[in-house]
Amino acid sequence: MSKKAVILVSGGLDSTTVLSMASDQGYERYTLSFDYGQRHRSELVAAQRVSQSAAVTEHKVVKLDLGAIGGSALTDTAIDVPEHETAGIPVTYVPARNTVFLSIALGWAEVLGASDIFLGVNAVDYSGYPDCRPEYIKAFESLANLATKAAVEGHKLNIHAPLINMTKAEIVQAGIALGVDYSQTVSCYQASLEGLACGKCDSCRLRAQGFIEAGLKDPTRYQKNA
């Protein structure tokens, strides 16, 4: 009997690496993306692309409207995406995003009879988001095992964040070792509809630095003015 896993995929470098890790561990993979009102919508195309390349069992896109509550440069076009390093938690933080995403992933895992959920959060090379910390993942796993019929009936649910303590360079190296084609991914917070990166936002800077430190060629496609 195959072991099933739900993998959150954004189409970016981190989640694509995690998808490859789940593949390597022999999971039957169900990928989940969210059309949540993000301004960088080309990531949805990338998520579909990497899911197809990985030959997952099913790829699902759930439509939400986090733009309705605003509060983030990723969902509110009136807030500029910062193109330089900022102090504190940046305006690209989307309020409660990972909690919302993990809750829906948890529901789908129950429906599928899957005991494992994977996501690509990282607490080393990240932008200071509170829902990317190890203590958050541990707390959500505890919640999952209190809040679900599956867990109450003895089927423990596991939240996997295999990149949590890795640098971006280590993530890139791990992905390359697993055969990840990073040219298929889009990480930019303000990528064009064609998936061309700005080269200036936090996500672009972290990604570029990761390839430099890994000593590998960066396959990112940039906008002409980047």
**99-111 tens-digit pLDDT:** 999 999 999 999 9
Q: How far apart are CA 121 and CA 132, in angstroms?
A: 5
pTM of the model as a whole: 0.94
Q: Which two structure tokens, joined as six digits, stand for 62?
A: 């759930």
Give bridge partners of residue 7 from the DSSP assignment: 31, 118
- CATH 3.40.50.620, domain 4-214, yes or no: yes
Q: Which two structure tokens, joined as six digits, stand for 49?
A: 């692309």
**185-215 tens-digit pLDDT:** 999 999 999 999 999 998 999 999 999 999 9
**32-52 tens-digit pLDDT:** 999 999 988 899 999 999 999
What's phi and psi for 28, nearest 5 deg? -80, 120
pLDDT at position 125? 65
Q: What is the signed CA dihedral for 218, 224, 225, 226, rounded to 10 degrees?
A: -10
**Which of 87-91, 121-125, 126-130, 135-139 is predicted with the least confidence, judged by mean pLDDT?**
126-130
Residue whose token pair is 């889009």 = 186
Going by C-alpha positions, the residue among 30, 28, 37, 34 that lies closest to residue 12 is 34
Task: Indicate whether 126 pLDDT > 70.
Answer: no
* Spatial CB neighbours of 105, under 8 Å, sequence gap ≥ 6: 6, 8, 32, 117, 119
